Amino acid sequence: MRKNYEFLLYVGVIVFFLVIIILTNKKVNFPNVVLWGLTLWGILHLSGGGILINGNRLYEIILISIVGEPYNIFKYDQFVHIVGFGVAALAIFYLLKQFLQEKIDK
């Protein structure tokens, strides 16, 4: 109804990566901390694009004003990216771990 097509794109990306994680989890056996981290990242990401506060998306909200205008640092968006890329790096580590170990053992 709000024609928030960007939010629909967020949902599509989250579903895409959910399917990839489900399909690879049997082989990789991600630790629970990675699975919970990915879940948290997805929730934070969807919340940022879908929740409005005083007419502003959550992504635009400044959590802590470190520098001020025009360099509004530290936004919700930046927090989500820190969490997300940290968890993604951890997931990639577990994806590559067995291949790296095989190379070391040879």
DSSP state letter for 2: -
Confidence of residue 63 (pLDDT cuts 50, 70, 90): confident
Contacts of 51 (CB under 8 A, 6+ apart): 57, 58
Given a contact cutoff of 8 angstroms between Cβ atoms, the answer to whether 83 and 41 are in contact is yes
**Token pair belonging to 43:** 């929730």
Q: What is the pLDDT of residues 12-60, one digit of tens each?
A: 888 898 898 889 888 888 999 999 999 999 899 888 877 888 888 888 8
DSSP annotation string for 12-27: HHHHHHHHHHHHHHHH
pLDDT at 71 exceeding the cut of 60:
yes
- The whole-angstrom separation of Cα 32 and Cα 52 is 31
